A and B are shown apart, each in its own frame.
Chain A
Amino acid sequence: MKTRVLAVSALAALTLAACGEAPSDEGATGGATGGTAAADFLGCMVTDQGGIDDRSFNASAWEGLQAAEQDLGIQVKYVTSKSESDYTPNVNSLVAEDCGIIVTVGFSLGDATLTAAQANADEKFAIVDENPDADPDTDGVQPTENIKPLLFNTAEAAYLAGYLSAGMSESGTVGTFGGIKLPTVAVFMDGFADGVAKYNEDKGADVKLLGWDKAKQDGLFAGKFDSPTDGKNLASNLIQQGADIIMPVAGGTGLGAAQAAQESGGKVAIVWVDTDGYESASQYKEVFLTTVEKGIANAVETATVETVNGQFTNTPFIGTLANDGVGLAPYHDFESKVPAELSAEVEALKEQIIDGTIVVESANSPQT
C-alpha cells in the first residue's frame, strides 16, 4: 500500500512539474554550428580527489576549459576521480574518447599522466602544478613531447602580500598556516616570509611572522584541506599570539580562518589564496585584505586554445608576475584603508620583481 501512495504522489509531482510550454522548434537548431574543426575538438579534464567543486584548483581548471568552450565553441568534459587508483583508468578512458587535450590536475596525477603520455604519443596533455619531467626518478626517460606542465611561481605574488601585510599590521605580528605541507603550499609561505622580511629590512621594522620558518622549512599545518573547524582553531591560536593579518594556504580549511577574522569584528584581516576570496568566498568578503591569485583558469584556457590552433608545445608554462600568471587581487573593501604610500611601494616592488631587480627565491618554486 505504502509503495502505491508513494508512486501516486511522485506521479502527481511529476504531472505538476510537467505542465510547461514546449519551446518552439525555431532556434532549437542554433547553438552547435558543427562542421568546423573547433566544434569537433574535445577538451577533457581529470580531477584529483578534491572533485570538480572544490572551489580551488580543480574548479579553476574546469573554469579554464569552460572559458575555452566559450571562446572557440569546442566541447568539454571532465571525469571525477574518487580515489588514487582511479587516476590511470580515468586518463585512459579519456584517451579512448579521442580528446584533443587532456588536462590533469595536481601532482598526484603526475605518474598516471606520464605513463599515459608515453603510451599515447599522439595525445596531448597539460598538467597543473606538476612537471613530470623534472622528477629525478624519470631522468632516464626522454622528456615527454606531449605533456605541457602548467606551473605557478606563487612566491612572487605572496612576496607582495607579505610586504603589504607587514605594512598593514598594527600589532606587528602576522601569521600563516597551510593545509598539507606540499611544495605548492609552502611556496606561498616562502614568498610571504620574504615579503615580511623585506619590509623589516626597508623600514627598520620588526614585524614578526608566525606559522612558517623559511630557513627550517617548517610551520603550522592543519593536515587537511577540507576542515574549516581546524582552520578556525589554528587562526584563533595565531590571533591569541598577536597576529592581526593571517594568510591561510589551505583551501576549505582556510574558510575557518576567515570566520575567525569576521568574529574578531574588524581587528583581524585575511590574505586569501588561489582565487579572489572577495568573490569566491563572498560571505566573508569584508575580511579579505587581498588575495594571492594563481591563474590556473587562464593557463588552462590558453593551453587549450593553443592546442585547438595547432600550437601545442611541451614548454612548461610558469605563471609569474611578469606574465600575469600570478598576482595580487584588488584590495576591494580595504582600498581606502591601505595607505597610498604603501600601495605605491607594493606596485614598485612588483615592477622590480618583473624586471629582475628583486629575485624571489624559494626552494619550493617550480623546477623546470
Chain B
Amino acid sequence: MSTTELKTEVTAPVPEPRRRRAWVDQVLIYLLSFVLALVISAFLIAFADPDVRSALPYFFSQPMDTISAAWESVSEAYKALFSGSIINFSAYTVTDAIRPFTESLYTATSLILAGLAVALPFRAGLFNIGAQGQLILGAIVAGYIGFSWALPFPVHLLVAILGGMLAGSLWAGIAGLLKARTGAHEVIVTIMLNWIAIYLLQYLLTLDAFQRPGRDDPLSPPVAAEGRLPRILGEDFRLNLGFILALLAAWFIWWLLERSTIGFEFRAVGANPSAARTAGINVRRAVTGVMVVAGAMAGLAGMNQILGGSTEYALGNGIAGDIGFDAITVALLGRSTPLGVVLAGILMGALRAGGSTMQAATGTPIDIVLVVQSLIVLFIAAPPLVRKIFRLRAPKPE
C-alpha cells in the first residue's frame, strides 16, 4: 500500500450528534418551520387563485372580497391537502376514509429508501448525488427479472429484489471505488453516472427484449404477478411489503452506524479521514463500502418503484421520477439519521399524496407542494431565523 495522500475533503454537511437536552428545541423548530412554510405558501396559493386576483385591484373599496376569496382558496386547498394525505372525513366508506394515509406511506417508501442512500454517505463525509442513477439501475434489473423471468411466487420476488439491490450497489460502487483508488470526486462521478443510467434506460427501452410484444412504445410489459410486492392491507390499498422493507432497511442502517464496527469506521472517516487513517482504519475500504451499501438502498428504491406498482408495474423512461434528487432533501430534512429519514420521507410522501388531491379538488398547482417542501428545508436549515421570528431563546449550551 502506498502512502499517497487520499483527498477526502469534507464537502458534505456532517450532522452533529444530537444533544439530548435540546431535543424539545429541535422538535419545536421542526413544527414551527412547517407552520411557517404553510403560511408563506398560503399567500402563494391565494395569489395564484384567479378569484383573488380579480378581487385584488379593488382591494381598498371592497377589501372583504379579496380576503374572503383568499380565505376560501387557501382553506379549500389545505383541506384537500389534509384529506388527500391523512384521512378523508367526507368519504362514504372506511376504506376510502383511511386510504389517503396508506397512500402517503406508499409514496414515502421510495423516498425513505433513496433518502437512506444519501444519508449514509453524508455520515461518512461523502455526497451521493447519484441516488437517481443507482435507482434507475435497480429498477432496470428488478423490472427485467420481474417481467421476463418465470419463477414461482416468493422466489421470483426475492430474486428481483436482490437483483435490484445488487445493481444499485454496483453502480454506486463504481463511484466509491474511483474515489478510493484515484480520489475522483464522488459528486462529479455520481452525476455522470446518473446520465449514463438515464441514457442506458432510454436505449434499453428501444430493444424488443424490453418492449411489449407487438408494440413499439418505450414501455415494458408489466411485471409478472409472482414478482410484485404483495399488498399488506388487502387489494384496496396500494401499500405493500416495500414499506416494511424500507423500515427494515432504516433499522439496518441504524444498526450499522451505531452498533457495528464497520459503521464506526464509516463515521470516523466522516469525522476526520486523516485521524481515521492514523487510527488504523482502512479509509479506502470504508469509502467503497459506504457507497456500496448506499447503492443497495437506492437500488431497493428503484426495485420498489417497479415492483410496487407506482407505474402500474411497467418500466418506462420516467420510472425514477425525481426521487433520487428528492432523496437529498429527505436526507437533509432527516439530519442524516435513519429515524429522521423515515419521518422526513413520510412527511414528503404525505405532501405528495395530498398534493395530487389538492390539485384535482381545487386546481391549486402541484408546484405549491414543492414550494412547501423547499421552505420547510430552508427554515430547518436556519434555526436562528425561526427562533427570531417566534422570539424563542436558544437552548442552553451543554
Contacts and interface: CB of A to CB of B under 8 A. Distances in A.
A and B: bona fide binding partners: yes
Interface of A: 14-15, 17-23, 44, 49, 77, 79-80, 82-90, 93-94, 96-97, 107-108, 111-112, 115, 135-137, 180-183, 186, 223, 364
A93 B321 contact: no
A112 B216 contact: no
Contacts of A94: 360
Interface of B is mostly: loop
Contact of B219 (A22, A86, A108, A364): A108
B57 A85 contact: no
A136 B212 contact: yes
A97 B360 contact: yes
Interface string B99-126: 0000100010000000000000000000
Contacts of B363: 77
B312 interface: yes
Contact of B84 (A18, A19, A93, A182): A93
A18 B60 contact: yes
B186 to A, nearest CB: 26
B319 interface: yes
B222 A111 contact: yes
Contacts, number: 116
Contacts of A180: 218
Contacts of A136: 212-215
B60 A19 contact: yes
Interface stretch (B187-195, B328-336, B351-359): B351-359
A362 to B, nearest CB: 12
A18 B59 contact: yes
A138 B339 CA distance: 42
Contacts of B305: 85
B57 A112 contact: no
Interface in B341-369: 353, 356-357, 359-361, 363, 365-366
Interface size grouping (class) on chain B: 35 or more
B59 A90 contact: no
A107 B219 CA distance: 9
A128 to B, nearest CB: 14
A79 B359 CA distance: 6
Contacts of A85: 305, 310-311, 318, 321
Contacts of A364: 216
19 contacts: A80-B366, A82-B321, A82-B322, A83-B321, A84-B319, A85-B318, A85-B321, A88-B309, A88-B310, A89-B353, A89-B356, A94-B360, A96-B96, A111-B311, A135-B215, A136-B215, A137-B212, A183-B217, A186-B216
Contact of B217 (A17, A18, A84, A182): A182
Contacts of B289: none
A90 B318 contact: no
Contacts of B221: 137
Contacts of A21: 58, 61
B206 interface: yes
Interface in B203-234: 206, 212-219, 221-222
B294 interface: no
B314 interface: yes
Nearest to A223: B202
B349 to A, nearest CB: 11
Contact of A77 (B206, B353, B360): B360
B211 to A, nearest CB: 11
A21 B363 CA distance: 28
B318 A84 contact: yes
Given A80-B366, A86-B356, A90-B356, 5 more contacts: A77-B360, A79-B360, A80-B359, A93-B357, A364-B216
B56 interface: yes
Nearest to A116: B312
A79 B356 contact: yes
B65 interface: yes
Interface in B42-80: 56-62, 65-66
A18 B238 CA distance: 48
B72 to A, nearest CB: 16
B60 to A, nearest CB: 5
B318 A83 contact: yes
B316 interface: yes
A251 to B, nearest CB: 15
A22 B65 contact: yes
A127 to B, nearest CB: 13
A82 B366 contact: yes
Most chain B CB atoms below 10 A, which of A49, A89, A183: A89
B59 to A, nearest CB: 3
B312 A112 contact: yes
A164 to B, nearest CB: 27
B357 A183 contact: no
Contacts of A93: 84, 356-357, 359-361
A14 B59 contact: yes
Contact of A90 (B107, B215, B312, B360): B360
A150 B312 CA distance: 22
Nearest to A82: B366
Nearest to B83: A96
A84 B319 CA distance: 6
A134 B7 CA distance: 58
B26 to A, nearest CB: 25
A49 B318 contact: yes
- What 5 A-B pairs have minimum CB-CB distances, sorted nearest first? A83-B321, A18-B59, A20-B57, A111-B312, A93-B360
Contacts of A18: 56-60, 66
B62 A84 contact: no
Nearest to B203: A223
A94 B56 CA distance: 30
Contacts of B314: 111
Contacts of B218: 180, 182
B57 A107 contact: no
A172 B316 CA distance: 40
B235 to A, nearest CB: 10
Given A22-B65, A82-B322, A183-B216, A96 B357 contact: yes
